Amino acid sequence: MSFQNLDLHPDLMRGVRAMGFTDPTPIQTQAIPVALQGQDLLGCAQTGSGKTAAFALPVLQHLLHKPGPGVRALILVPTRELAAQVETSFRDCGRFTPFKIAVVIGGVGYHGQKQALSQGASIVVATPGRLKDHIQQGTIRLDRVDVLVLDEADRMLDMGFLPDIRAIIGRLPKNRQTMMFSATLGPDIDRVAAFAMKDPRRVEIAKPTTVATGINQIVYPVNQGQKGELLVAVLQAAQIRSAVVFCRTKHGADRLSKRLKEKGFSIGVLHADRTQGQRTQAMDSFREGKTQILVATDIAARGIDVRDISHVVNYDVPRHPEDYVHRVGRTARAQGVGDAITLMTPDEQPFLSSIERFVGTVFPRAVLPNFTYTIKPVLTPPRPKSFRDMNWSRFKRRSRR
Ligand code: ADP
Ligand code: MG
């Protein structure tokens, strides 16, 4: 399959060539024809498999074929960093098209956004909260939107954006195309699909729990008291080009980044309590390779595409299995390879087990060579729950009813 077979406009083909893409990825091969027909679409494919272009190219093609004034395409994403990145993808894919793009995100002033909107943006990439503010202030009109895309749709629901999304969708013409994309489109999404979509086609390249191939996963069990020390040792031992270290809390990320700085690592920090200026700067220096390690909360788990992240380290075991899939998906993008290392205390074992059930893999446990453990770590995973261990009382209670 080549891009030639996808019936893309010559100006988009020029964009594709300029980006250096030779062949479409599987999700692009399957989703683009459906999207070009104007059908509603639920697209599910592994992290790093090119979902952005799978919706950006059809959106641009629609605008080329049906030009007109006003905001014509609306892309909703869960985080500001992802909004900036999706904007870049549209600029790259649409390099030889005339369309203006506006980014509407929180944490920055309204002035520039109002200006971009009043100057006739055809494509708006937005986070739901700030977009709702613009709607309320009357600084954006959405009554000409033909295409709505929800990227990382399930994450936006997790973040509690459902009411905002409902309010936004209420402003859109009923007669429009709606597409949703994620590597983890679970059953929750059906509730949104029910009111936002018409007969959506499901284009699924992998089961919605699949970790991208090319990610080498390993778990280091360790006691709480030695976790920080082990992290430093892991980072020193690994051949790291660049790495993201994920923490569960903002406070934890701050503390950890201080510790790593003291050990001489070049560090950026990304979490929601930092100013947008600090967030942008952390992301930019990491992208440019000026900082080697980004310490982040799950805010960086979704969608972020940085070349050459060789390692993802889970300093905390993620509490939700989906988050694991997305965190480790920051490495091994576009058919690359990478390492995903998870540090696990005995308390975190249940969370790891539920991740293992979700992705259908039991991860190898290991000790770090030359690291002095004060307490010998347990390397055998607990036995999977068998028929015998099942909690029969629940069943008995039910059968009595
Ligand atoms: P996803 O949204 O599925 O996680 P992205 O859209 O962020 O993935 O794409 C991941 C990387 O793959 C990006 O760097 C992108 O430029 C690259 N990419 C996308 N499509 C192709 C293609 N057809 N050929 C080569 N690289 C591609
Ligand atoms: Mg994506």
**Residues 189, 283 within the same domain:** no
Best residue among 4, 5, 19, 27 to mutate for probing ligand 1's pocket (most ligand atoms within 8 Å of CB) is 19
Task: Give the Å distance between the CA of 366 and the centre of ligand 2.
Answer: 31
Nearest CA-CA partner of 21 in 95, 119, 77: 95
**Residues 177, 200 within the same domain:** yes
Q: Which atom of ligand 1 is nearest to the CA of 329?
A: 4
CA distance 195 to 86: 25
**Residues 329, 357 within the same domain:** yes
**Residues 122, 192 within the same domain:** yes
400 falls within a domain: no
401 falls within a domain: no
Task: Give the Å distance between the CA of 305 and the centre of ligand 2.
Answer: 8
pLDDT tens digits for range 4-54: 999 999 999 999 999 999 999 999 999 999 999 999 999 999 999 999 999
**Residues 72, 169 within the same domain:** yes
- Counted domains in the chain: 2
Q: Which atom of ligand 1 is nearest to the CA of 307?
A: 14
Nearest CA-CA partner of 286 in 334, 341, 242, 235: 242
**Residues 124, 253 within the same domain:** no
Estimate the share of the chain in helix, then strand, then coil, as percent rounded to the nearest 5: 40, 15, 45
Q: Give me the CATH number covering residue 223.
A: 3.40.50.300
For residue 163, what are its two tokens?
A: 């009411």
Question: Which pLDDT score is estimated for 395?
Answer: 42
56 falls within a domain: yes
245 falls within a domain: yes
CA distance 381 to 353: 8
CA distance 302 to 329: 8
**Residues 137, 277 within the same domain:** no
Ligand 1 first shell, C-beta below 6 A: 21, 24-25, 28, 45, 47-53, 303, 305, 333-334
DSSP state at residue 365 = B
**Residues 176, 63 within the same domain:** yes
**Residues 111, 239 within the same domain:** no
**Residues 89, 178 within the same domain:** yes
* Cα angle for residues 125, 128, 129 (degrees, 5° grid): 125
The helix/strand/coil state of 27 is helix
Task: Give the Å distance between the CA of 304 and the centre of ligand 1.
Answer: 11
Best residue among 44, 52, 93 to mutate for probing ligand 1's pocket (most ligand atoms within 8 Å of CB) is 52
Domain final position from 172, 204, 236: 204
Domain final position from 137, 172, 204: 204
Task: Give the Å distance between the CA of 89 and the centre of ligand 1.
Answer: 9
255 falls within a domain: yes
Q: Which atom of ligand 1 is nearest to the CA of 303?
A: 4
Best residue among 8, 21, 325 to mutate for probing ligand 1's pocket (most ligand atoms within 8 Å of CB) is 21
- Smallest-distance ligand from the CA of 51: 1
380 falls within a domain: yes
Task: Give the Å distance between the CA of 236 and the centre of ligand 2.
Answer: 30
CA distance 42 to 180: 5
210 falls within a domain: no
Q: Give every residue of the chain whose pLDDT is below 70, as ranges.
A: 384-401
**Residues 38, 146 within the same domain:** yes
Question: Which pLDDT score is estimated for 208?
Answer: 86
199 falls within a domain: yes
Place of tokens 């770090």: 368
How much is the pTM? 0.93
Domain final position from 145, 174, 204: 204
**Residues 137, 21 within the same domain:** yes
Task: Give the Å distance between the CA of 26 and the centre of ligand 1.
Answer: 11
Q: Which domain holds residue 27?
A: 3-204
Helices (H) and strands (E) in the chain, counts: 15, 13
